[in-house]
Amino acid sequence: MELTPKQDNFCLKYVETGNASEAYRQAYNAENMKSETVNRKASELLENGKITARIDELQAEHRERHKLTVDDLLHELETARKQALELNQCSVAVSATMGKAKLLGLDKQKVEVEEINKADFPTEIRLVAPDFEDWSEAAKEMFKRGKDNAKC
């Protein structure tokens, strides 16, 4: 059995976006669906062996076309990091290090979510206004003119 055009389009969009739900939205008419339904249907498609085989095929074609591997990217990032350190550009070095961590999946943040009853916590909104008495005359004038017209 071959894939339907929508299934094949889902595979293409999945490889493009890396997100099954977004791929489903783009490949199918999901405009009036709840996000839970989209997520479930996308997950069901990813459980279909023919679809996963097509995704694997597309990803292999993509890698072959670009001749790029994770090792290539890691090497480039390490080279950039070393050059940045030699030039004393710490922020660039940190960016390269974080790029390596992201590429290797080491940058995942763990968040613990605790169920709370929102009724127990009323919404509180606090409005804070500037106290002009503490401002210098120059600051007051800049505020009156607006930030776009302010000159230092």
Measure the CA–CA gap between 28 and 148, rounded to whole angstroms: 46
Contact 94, 88 (CB under 8 A): no
Q: The domain containing residue 23 runs over which residues?
A: 5-66
Q: What angle do CA 15, 16, 19 make, to 5 degrees?
A: 75
Q: What is the mean pLDDT of the chain?
A: 80
Residues of the chain with pLDDT under 70: 1, 108-125, 127-152
Q: In total, how many domains does the chain have?
A: 1
pLDDT of residue 62: 83
Q: 136-151, pLDDT tens digit by residue?
A: 665 656 656 655 544 4
> Is residue 43 a part of any domain in this protein?
yes
Among candidate residues 62, 61, 25, the one with its CA nearest the CA of residue 45: 25
> Is residue 22 a part of any domain in this protein?
yes
pLDDT of residue 90: 85
As a dihedral over the C-alpha atoms of residue 108, residue 114, residue 117, residue 121, rounded to 10 degrees, the angle is -70
Measure the CA–CA gap between 151 and 51, rounded to whole angstroms: 60
Measure the CA–CA gap between 18 and 38, rounded to whole angstroms: 15
> Is residue 141 a part of any domain in this protein?
no
> Is residue 62 a part of any domain in this protein?
yes
Q: 74-84, pLDDT tens digit by residue?
A: 888 899 989 98
Instruction: Give the position of tokens 């210098």.
Output: 136
Pair of tokens at residue 79:
């080279």
Global pTM value:
0.47
Which string of DSSP letters, residue by residue, matches 56-71?
HHHHHHHHHHHT--HH
